[in-house]
Structure 1
């Protein structure tokens, strides 16, 4: 896969028994790290709009392709993708660069990794910016059974666990079509359609909604997943119940300043308990779907920089009008 045109050439960093492909900007800002964690099925390239702005604001920007993605390690064992491994990679990445702690920012599954960093490695996290996926409080029963009871056996997260290998093969055989159909803008949330949504997207002849990105940007994702397949990333989902057990004895309260950005057209809800279990959180809703930082790159970047500036982590960006209007169940300044 060629280096994406908007990112510098990556380095390969050994971490935690794996090797991560890591993109950096702002090395001159050593001492002020921010680690960007992408989701599924994505890459560090998902942060292409934010990386230059964060570097210009004074951050050393570190954006890995996490294990299972791009040219990073793709272990064969499913258990090598549990939350201990994923957060261990991030902690080891800080060690590699000589940092005791950093600001962490995540989207989708990357957000889950960041929330989990604050649970499992709280001393390594100074502040959190998460997009799309709010903190998921541990359920009374394992997550796969909980999701199956609430959303049914065709829910894609349940399907990935109950029918291993089935979706992988279909997505691998239709990578370009799947990604073209997935990275679309959506309308207001509605009830889910029957069937396994990821398989349906991989097989659908025509996409629904406007594209999130240009054909050139989509080609970067397509080339990567045509080369690697989707199993590495799907294995993150196959550790839901293992993660549930790992987190059983962990204090569930995250005591870090946090900004939670969600798309108002994304069906993922903001739970009423968010402010209880992340007491330092601010919630910001943007009029978009799930792919927030790629759908509304300028608005997302401005909101992130403004919040970081308020926390003393970055200077106020030029042209900023100051505080934003917050929306959602939590709106108090941390």
Structure 2
């Protein structure tokens, strides 16, 4: 695969996981890079190269339901307990005691859970775009339904008939054409001036399945962030796997909330929050108050970046990861 180390496999937590590794095996603690939706380990291609060339050991898995990794059938096989245990199994396979976990988008939710559920395996955490929050006061799906309505994509994703999965799966190239672009305007722009799907204000269009169904790249003024060759990697992977595995992560949000009752949400390891100035789905303001849950927290703002930060601003993200890793861990 373009710009990637050789694909390796391990059995972990009942599944076969594909992953990529680079950098010196003697480097400690390594950095484990966890992608979001709809992405792959390939989303970290720039960081894998930069970090490994800086002498840092780096590991990037295709997570459960994605790419080269197994896609179990049961929906509850994608809850946060499974997703975090997968990463513990990956460390076990590689003989690693502790790692720094770096996560973007859904991967961010997973890595912030690692020190809560497996504190003895976590040296540090980096969230990219995705903040760490306390447990919601009510079921998150019901909160999203109340704020955004039935057409909000995460609410739609709860559909047991898998209609959103079918829409994306029948329009794979359209999906990546539409998603993998820089935002058209600032996040606070009026809804009618923002390309559908850019933001998380109630005024904005978060009906992603319908957006994809009606999307025509010829009329999209936003700049793509992927080359034709890079986009093809995503298209080929999701044409083969479909989208259900990744969407099943969303189908466990209520389950995750129910099962997290009583869990201490304090993160007690060195942590870094990288925010993107123009990500309206996960804006910098969503990270407000994180210091109340994370005593050892640094924040860093990437300007002029939308949601796909490690691919939109790869040099800046890689440089910050390297600087923070060296300063905090040697």
TM-score (norm 1): 0.89
Match of 2:288 among 272, 279, 287: 272
CA 195–50 in structure 1, closer or farther in 2 if over 3 Å, else same: closer
Match of 2:227 among 214, 221, 237: 214
**Correspondence for 1:101:** 98
Q: Structure 1 residue 163: deviation in Å?
A: 5.5
Match of 1:196 among 207, 210, 214: 207
**Correspondence for 2:308:** 291
Q: Distance in 1 between matches of 2:161 and 2:138?
A: 21
How does 1:129-278 map onto structure 2 within 5 Å?
Answer: 129-162=126-159, 164-186=161-183, 187-190=185-188, 191=201, 192-194=203-205, 196-206=207-217, 207-267=220-280, 268-269=282-283, 270-278=286-294
CA 145–308 in structure 1, closer or farther in 2 if over 3 Å, else same: same
Q: Structure 1 residue 38: deviation in Å?
A: 0.6
Q: Structure 1 residue 139: deviation in Å?
A: 0.8
Maintained 8 Å contact 1:68/1:232:
yes
Worse-matched range after superposition: 141-150 or 231-240: 141-150
Give secondary structure in 1 for the equivalent of 2:178: helix
Q: Structure 1 residue 162: deviation in Å?
A: 4.1
Q: Deviations over 1:303-332 (max 9, x none)?
A: 11111121034xxxxxxxxxxxxxxxxxxx
Q: Deviations over 1:162-212 (max 9, x none)?
A: 464010000000011111110000021134434612431343112341001
Q: Deviations over 1:8-29 (max 9, x none)?
A: 2211110000011011111443
2:297 is equivalent to residue 281 of structure 1: yes
- Structure 2, unmatched stretches of 5+, are 189-200
Q: Distance in 1 between matches of 2:277 and 2:113?
A: 24
Q: Distance in 1 between matches of 2:209 and 2:122?
A: 33
- Structure 1, unmatched stretches of 5+, are 314-334
Worse-matched range after superposition: 59-68 or 156-165: 156-165
**Correspondence for 1:318:** none
Q: Distance in 2 between matches of 1:255 and 1:149?
A: 33
Give secondary structure in 2 for the equivalent of 1:161: coil
CA 163–152 in structure 1, closer or farther in 2 if over 3 Å, else same: farther
Maintained 8 Å contact 1:131/1:292:
yes
2:39 is equivalent to residue 42 of structure 1: yes
Worse-matched range after superposition: 226-235 or 137-146: 137-146
Q: Structure 1 residue 31: deviation in Å?
A: 4.1
Maintained 8 Å contact 2:167/2:212:
no
CA 197–214 in structure 1, closer or farther in 2 if over 3 Å, else same: same
How many residue pairs end up in the alignment?
310
Q: Distance in 1 between matches of 2:107 and 2:49?
A: 20
TM-score (norm 2): 0.90
Q: Distance in 2 between matches of 1:198 and 1:135?
A: 27
